[in-house]
Chain A
Amino acid sequence: MATHAGGLTAVVEVPADAPAVAVRGLVRAYGEDRVLDDLDLELGAGEFVAILGRSGSGKSTLLRALAGLDHGVAGTGEVRVPDQVSVVFQDSRLLPWARVLDNVVLGLGGARRAARDAGRAALAEVGLAGRELAWPNELSGGEQQRVSLARSLVRSPQLLLADEPFGALDALTRIRMHTLLRDLYARHRPAVLLVTHDVDEAIVLADRVVVLDRGRIAVERRIDLGGARDAADPRFAAIRTELLDALGVDRKDVTA
């Protein structure tokens, strides 16, 4: 377990059966504006949690705090994350001057040959076998995001942080990526924190959905729909309505 984030964050001893992620009393502020306000959150090992919230609700700030990317942001609180954390950004963030395989194995330790073999396997897993030597520019948006998933997976993360990873993709590609992510999750079982603004995406993918509002958890909802989730299922629709209510979306806006 590694403890980080914020100069004021305390280092704490970790018990053996601890959850994958433990956040306690997390405060992050830009000036006077408290983006995260005394937030508590836990993720069990291998648990898939989606964070929903309007823009400015603090969901990206939370993810960046967990990723240790919020240098220079004032705050207090305690954040515990596993040693192996991977991040998938909204943009695929591939180095344009490195070929696909080099992007996947970027910074991967160990023997070069072993790393490259693992990279090839990860690419095959996301359906991009044979594209190892392509330049990122030659790939479509969906393919680039697959490479970015492969880059995350090849590190065998205990925690996968995904910040609206499919937000920039078209609707059809997004559906295919949902299926891919579910498959990959089923096989590797990392804890996943998915930040999204897409309610259906959250319900389709997550075990638990957390709605953030003004830096606090407004609603938590366990998704008990089993493996195959169908948006036409009335239970699915009920959860959607509940979550949209929590997000302050009027029902008239949805049906219109």
Chain B
Amino acid sequence: MTALGTATRAGTVPRARTSTEPAPGRPGGPPGVRPGPRPDDRPAGRRLGLGRPVPAAGLVGVAVLVGVWVAGSASGLIDQRVLSAPWTVVTTAGDLIAQGDLQENLGVSLTRAALGLAWGVAAGVVLALASGLSRVGDALLDGPIQVKRAIPNLALLPLLILWFGIGEPMKVITIALGVFIPIYLHTHNGLRSIDSRYVELAETVRLSRPQFVRRVVLPGALPGFLLGLRFAVTGSLLSLVVVEQVNATAGIGYMMELARTYGQTEVIIVGLVVYGVLGFSADAAVRLLQRRALAWRRTLED
């Protein structure tokens, strides 16, 4: 406090604050006691931080967007033929559900995505283990997979249609091909980046190779695998959208294509909302799985 007084007299501190001034918000506090933590209701934020957290931050932007949509449609600023009004979309969704169309198409789409995801994840994990755990496997597999990775999945579509026709197998295979790449990459990376100190430990406690894989390698690669799964789930829906617009006879994408030919904007928007909800809930499900499976990891996220 004396130092502060000296500084004030020297004129280096522009706002004079004498040592007899009570600590802010603490009148009657013993003089000379340094002010403790600020007694405000809210904790003092980091001075260089981003400011106070916004309540329900994730929903604010969406709510504003929907608000603009509602206002634009109600005032007639948005042409109904370009973008249907929100209430039209809601009633259309109600009709589609009442007729059973939405459930049926959604069921077909979900089955496709789930099958493609299952095959893709299985293939990705098996290939990652084969190339991550043996030098021969690495030499044989990693190169071709990196080549495949460089080719956009959808560029393979013409070839896949020639090979597998336009039926369900082609659709599931296309989705699986898109899914296995992120699973492979991230699982492989997880396997390879296991700390060598743990390998040393495994040697000193004399783990057998199967024990080593089960106790050290697989749990060590799990964070990588789960990260890959998040990409894979998003990727499976992306591929789903594309294959459903190629000669499909059922599915959300087919429903939207049909609506396009009849100029039913509201049905297209229902389809988009369904895709959006699907993507969001699938990602949320994987994130929940991540939190459960990686309970041992205390990261910044938690």
Interface residues of A (CB under 8 A from B): 67-69, 85-87, 89, 91, 93, 95-98, 106-108, 135-137, 151, 155
Q: Is the CB of B203 within 8 A of A91?
A: no
Q: Is the CB of B296 within 8 A of A96?
A: yes
Say whether B118 faces chain A, with CB atoms less than 8 Å apart.
no
Say whether B193 faces chain A, with CB atoms less than 8 Å apart.
no
Say whether B120 faces chain A, with CB atoms less than 8 Å apart.
no
Q: Is the CB of B202 within 8 A of A107?
A: yes
Q: Is the CB of A107 within 8 A of B222?
A: no
Contact residues in A for B220 (Cβ distance below 8 Å): 97
Alpha-carbon gap, A91 to B205, bound state (A): 16
Chain-A contact segment, one of B29-37, B59-67, B143-151, B211-219: B211-219
Say whether B52 faces chain A, with CB atoms less than 8 Å apart.
no
Say whether B42 faces chain A, with CB atoms less than 8 Å apart.
no
Q: Is the CB of B204 within 8 A of A95?
A: no
Q: Is the CB of B296 within 8 A of A155?
A: no
- Chosen A-B contacts, 30 in total, with CB atoms closer than 8 Å, are A67-B204, A68-B203, A69-B203, A69-B204, A85-B204, A86-B204, A89-B197, A89-B200, A89-B201, A93-B197, A93-B200, A95-B198, A95-B216, A95-B219, A97-B219, A97-B220, A97-B296, A97-B297, A98-B215, A98-B296, A106-B207, A106-B215, A107-B202, A107-B205, A108-B205, A135-B296, A137-B296, A137-B298, A151-B205, A155-B205
The digit string for B176-208, where 1 denotes a CB below 8 A from any CB of A, is 000000000000000000000110111111110
Q: Is the CB of B197 within 8 A of A69?
A: no
Per the 8 Å Cβ criterion, residues 251-302 of B in contact with A are 294-298
The digit string for B59-92, where 1 denotes a CB below 8 A from any CB of A, is 0000000000000000000000000000000000
Contact residues in B for A107 (Cβ distance below 8 Å): 202, 205-207, 211, 215
Q: Is the CB of A69 within 8 A of B296?
A: no
Alpha-carbon gap, A97 to B207, bound state (A): 17
Within the complex, the shortest CB–CB distance from B173 to chain A, in Å, comes to 34
Contact residues in A for B211 (Cβ distance below 8 Å): 107
Name the residue on B nearest A67 (C-beta): B204
